[in-house]
Chains A and B, each alone.
Chain A
Amino acid sequence: MDVFSNLMLGLATAATLENLSYCLIGTVLGTAVGVLPGLGPSTTIALLLPFTFALGPTPSLIMLAGIYYGAQYGGSTTAILLNLPGEPSSAVTALDGYQMAKQGRAGHALAVAALGSFFAGTVATFVIVLFAPVMTSLALEFGPAEYFSLIVLGLIFSVALAHGSVVRALAMVVLGLVLSLVGNDVTSGEARFTFGRLELAEGINFVTLSVGFFGVAEILRNLETEGAEGTATKIIGRLLPSWPDLRRCVGPVLRGTALGSVLGILPGGGALLSSFASYSLEKKLSKTPGEFGKGAIEGVAGPEAANNAGAQTSFIPMLTLGLPANAVMAMMVGAMVIQGIVPGPNVATEQPALFWGLIVSMWIGNLMLLVLNLPLVGLWARMMTIPYTWLFPAILTFSAIGIYSLNGNVFDLYALCLSGVLGYVLLRLGCEPAPFLLGFVLGPMLEEHMRRALLLSFGHPSVFVTRPISAGLLILALLALLAVALPAIARKRSKVFAE
């Protein structure tokens, strides 16, 4: 089996009318739910899973995949226009994208995000085609010690990229880690900090918390400005960026794509970690790091490319090993199981049409998204002209519906209100929600992998430094930490030298 015949088989499968239509349905649906805060791809895929019974395996997987990467596009649209990341991985895009929108450059940000995503999606598709077998063995090298070190690296990154006080960012990470301790102890299964509530046994729900922090808290903050209807984001401005702008984006997009393609393969990190990592990389490489957080186009281009590449390559462990890299992939595994396909190394050999058809459909889907989204950006942007008196209740309603549909628990709605208020208070205190959320997401994994690594090494902590990949990641984390500390020193120094 060579690459060319595989691709032809994939093309033949993906280009049938049925599969093309489901690809279109998936991507449009994905964009829509990506745009709507609080209704992410995980919820949508979960809601649609029952309906895939009636479809064949190939169209249903193509559609579900379309929802996932379509949501990455849609998520960045709201991140830029509303400062409401539809998806956690778009949280980084909001940092500079929203600032650009405020300056009347929303069109540029949207175009760069879409073009960057398309480029990254294309490259990532070829990465899957070429390296799926090779990367299978790489993913296997990752044991608990490596996961632990990778997560440490991710947390340090999140502190590094937070603008403002490093201490506050660290405090937010720690607060996230602390809140993530609520729920069943991973090793003994004993309930911790649940106050006897069974709803808390599985911990505080991440989606609830993130919708609270990004959706509800943002609305509360906007309510402060009296009579505010729409912000500066009403002006989308020119869609096509100027040549100098485009040239500024080439490097970030290339680096973001590379970073995302690699990080996406690693279970756990995926699109979220990719966008965070890309942002901090661009900030560090930039000649004008001060622009970041104030509307730097690189801060949109890099992370957008990275999260789309990461979203795409996170299919690799799922397709080749049956290992879900994130919650959405777990549901894709579920969709395969529903169809009677056991995800794993056998899929590529026993179901080549499905395997390659899905991969090629991702590229087709990315093309569809580009063609659909750029001209339609005006349509999404028209959301801006909706007065807040309409928009805010609508967002709150969708958030509440989304949250309630997760588990069917009223408790989650109270948790949503509470996290909204907490998020608002933190915003007023000048603390960023992003490091907090990353700490919260990675906390359980950090604990789980650390304890598992120690159990499997029969209690020797040296396992983290004697395994080469793990040691390398920890060294990187240490360097990143030093880099965080250095600019402060450098700034002081430059002041001294300036005098």
Chain B
Amino acid sequence: MKRFWTVTCALAFALALSPAQAWEPKKPIRVIIGYGAGGSTDAIGRLMLKKIEEQKGWKFIVENKSGAQGALAAIEVKNAPADGSVLGLLSTGNFALDPFLTKSSQYMPEDLDYVGTIGKIEYALIAAKDAPYNNLAELAAHTKKNGPISFSSTGKILDLAMERVSDKLGIAFVSAPTSGSAQSLQLVLGGHANVTISGGVHVPYVQSGKLKVIAVMTGARADYAPEVGTSLEQGGGFSIENYFLLVAPKNLPADARKAIADAIDDAVKSPEIGDYAAKTFNTRVNLGAKGSTDDVMAQSRAWREWLPNSKLAK
């Protein structure tokens, strides 16, 4: 009997010490990435998951589901059980903009929970080194005199960003969509298109002097081209805030949501993610669960207000 009490006391003590039963996944978590294997989202996502495996001892099963520009992945996460066993990795634009571009979207930004971000994609408007314009004002003046320029576009969000800036400054352009930023870069490098908006992959070409930055399309100036102003500074009135975004099915239990958000935050803070983001010219940043939810909602409101004005969105 004495022994019984000792064990019970020890157990009670142990329970009292453990912090309010932190949530742990019961089985490996499926992570559905809305982009192809080896792409920039996939690469940084897998690195972060590996970090969580090291730090927390959780296990992940990664699936790349790149169909329908990420819509398939978004829908799969939306329909998954909300118990922390399934996560998705996409980007802000997939939720804040894409659902409003088709008539019959099978998901809306409100249909999911947002649990954090890994980094921000550093977009810039770039042109060939010898282009006769160096900033947005000169670009506007050039098109007023010589007619429209050609814009090689890698995604709808970039098309719309270019349209918003152009409307504001009076730049005339024709958009030609491509299937990837590598292709867009080749068109500009080969002189087949005048400008493009690229997210990071252009940096080596800027550094080697083959391309130049007309405007940084995000909120702050870029380290590799500190002399170039952002589109906001140049009066373009719009900047792109696109994040590598982690999502979960709606109404995740509070403890699971917190544990997952914390795990993401710890991993994103690791030096490996910092190094990797720097190497690929993206900015490491985690907005957190609340921050990324607010960001998606704010951006989707802004896009819904703008879209009726857009000619390209039709």
Contacts and interface: CB of A to CB of B under 8 A. Distances in A.
A342 B204 contact: yes
Nearest to B202: A344
Interface in B270-289: 275-276, 279-281
A334 B39 contact: yes
B91 to A, nearest CB: 16
Contacts of B69: 184, 189, 201
Interface in A339-397: 340, 342, 344-346
B176 A345 contact: no
A344 B37 contact: no
Given A49-B37, A323-B186, A448-B179, A344 B205 contact: yes
A346 B201 CA distance: 12
A330 B140 CA distance: 36
Contact of A342 (B64, B178, B201): B201
Interface in A182-199: 184, 186-187, 189-191, 196, 198-199
A23 to B, nearest CB: 21
A426 interface: no
Main SS class of interface, B: mixed
A294 interface: no
B186 A321 contact: yes
B176 A456 contact: yes
Contacts of A458: 147-148, 150, 174
Contacts, number: 130
A452 B150 CA distance: 10
B104 interface: yes
A455 B150 contact: yes
Interface stretch (A71-79, A125-133, A141-149, A150-158): A141-149
The bracket for how many chain B residues form the interface is 35 or more
Given A143-B192, A342-B204, A455 B174 contact: yes
A334 B36 contact: yes
Given A408-B65, A458-B174, A337 B40 contact: yes
B67 A202 contact: yes
A191 B192 CA distance: 27
A234 B310 CA distance: 65
Interface in A180-236: 184, 186-187, 189-191, 196, 198-199, 201-202
Interface in A437-491: 448, 451-452, 455-456, 458
Given A337-B39, A458-B148, A201 B71 contact: yes
B159 to A, nearest CB: 9
Contacts of B40: 337
A50 interface: yes
Interface residues of A, number: 46
B46 A50 contact: yes
B38 interface: yes
A322 B174 contact: no
A49 B38 contact: yes
B137 interface: no
Contacts of B71: 198, 201
Contacts of B42: 334
A337 B204 contact: no
Contacts of A414: none
B38 A334 contact: yes
Contacts of A198: 67-68, 71-72, 75, 106
Contacts of A337: 38-40, 43, 280
17 contacts: A50-B37, A50-B46, A143-B190, A186-B179, A198-B72, A198-B75, A321-B189, A323-B182, A324-B182, A331-B38, A333-B38, A337-B38, A337-B280, A344-B204, A345-B208, A346-B208, A458-B174
Interface of A: 46, 49-50, 53, 139-144, 184, 186-187, 189-191, 196, 198-199, 201-202, 321-324, 330-331, 333-335, 337-338, 340, 342, 344-346, 407-409, 448, 451-452, 455-456, 458
Closest 6 CB pairs of A and B: A334-B38, A143-B192, A201-B68, A455-B176, A140-B190, A340-B279
